[in-house]
Amino acid sequence: MTILVTGSTGTIGSQVIAKLAASGADVRALTRSPEKARFPQGVTAVKGDLMDVEAMRAALQGVSSLFLLVPNGSDELTQAINTLSLAREAGVRGIVYLSVTRSDVYTDVPHFTAKHAVERMIEQLDLPATILRPSYFFQNDVTLKGPLLGAGLYVSPVGGKGVSMIDTGDIADAAVKELLRRAHAGAPLPRELYELVGPDSLNGATLAEIWADALSRPVRYLGDDLDAFEKQLAAVAPSWKAYDLRLMMRRYQQDGAAGSATDIERLTALLGRAPRSYRDFAIETAQSWQN
């Protein structure tokens, strides 16, 4: 029972590896630089890149389950489709694929549509996979420390409709539950799909209120200015990615991304507990900043 984890050094992948290692699973961590990676004891670092077919063939040999996390990139779709095809050829019996909520609805957002194309491949080929569709990560907002502490501004332009954000720890826990369930099964299991959403639908105004309480200072929502948002992102990221995220925020503003009661109930059953609230995340984060 060997589990291969991609995105192994990222926010979610590193948590998945740590939790799998703690469970006693045999874990391989895919990384471009094994010599630099620091993984828990017992985890095997495997050199590879999702665009390197021969390296992926080698990495997938003897693997029973695969955690497939493909970062938002210009070649994201090719990476995911190739890896799933190679996993199929290698006889991988269980797959957990990290998609995104509203992947089938936000068709004008490139990375959403790319992930939905991967979901369609999984369905058409009847791959033994669990598709996890997480919402906006709580931890994205750690990058807002400057404006929150400086000017008292919540600057992510999520709009007024409401988004059911999710903690990355809950995403990792859901992934590990499904990876282990599939790894321990004697045969491939049917497909599953989970919307990973937090317990609250949050808009710009409510997020500002939460941060005001957490920081014990006035905080206001900066507003829905997508031009400013894109310009700020383009200063630190490629222009295609800045525009991609602008389109995502536009859909949040127009349509929202609120989870349903059924989504929350199913995630609660999978985790064996309620998903974490944004308020708890904000309080903990504010305390860490102040310390």
Query: Would 249 be classed as within a structural domain?
Result: no
Which residues, 6+ apart, have CB-to-CB distance to 186 below 8 Å?
Answer: none
The verdict on residue 64 lying in a domain is yes
Closest CA to 69 of 23, 2, 17, 127: 17
pLDDT for the residue numbered 32: 93
CB burial string 133-161: b at 16+ within 10 A, e below:
bbbbbbbebeebeeebbeeebbbbbbbeb
The reply to whether 214 falls in a domain is no
Position 105 scores a pLDDT of 97
> pLDDT tens digits, residue range 19-56?
999 999 999 999 999 998 899 999 999 999 999 999 99
Average pLDDT over residues 207-221: 98
Strand order in the sheet with 94-98: 44-47, 26-31, 2-5, 65-68, 94-98, 129-134, 192-196
Position 291 pLDDT exceeds 90: no
**Residue 210: helix, strand or coil by DSSP?**
helix
Q: How many domains does the chain have?
A: 1
One DSSP character per residue, 229-269 reads HHHHHHTTS-HHHHHHHHHHHHHHHHH-BPPPHHHHHHHHH
Residue 237 counted as domain residue: no
pLDDT at 1 over 90: no
In a domain, 208, yes or no: no
φ, ψ for residue 9 (rounded to 5)?
-100, 0
Q: How far apart are CA 40 and CA 1, in angstroms?
A: 18
**Phi first, then psi: what are they for 230, rounded to 5°?**
-65, -40
Confirm whether 190 is domain-assigned: yes
- Mean pLDDT score of the chain: 97
pLDDT, mean of residues 207-214: 98
In a domain, 157, yes or no: no
Would you state the pLDDT for residue 65?
Answer: 98
Q: Is residue 289 part of a domain?
A: no
> Which structural domain range is residue 190 located in?
2-136+166-197+258-276
61-107 pLDDT per residue, tens: 999 999 999 999 999 999 999 999 999 999 999 999 999 999 999 99
CATH number at residue 267: 3.40.50.720
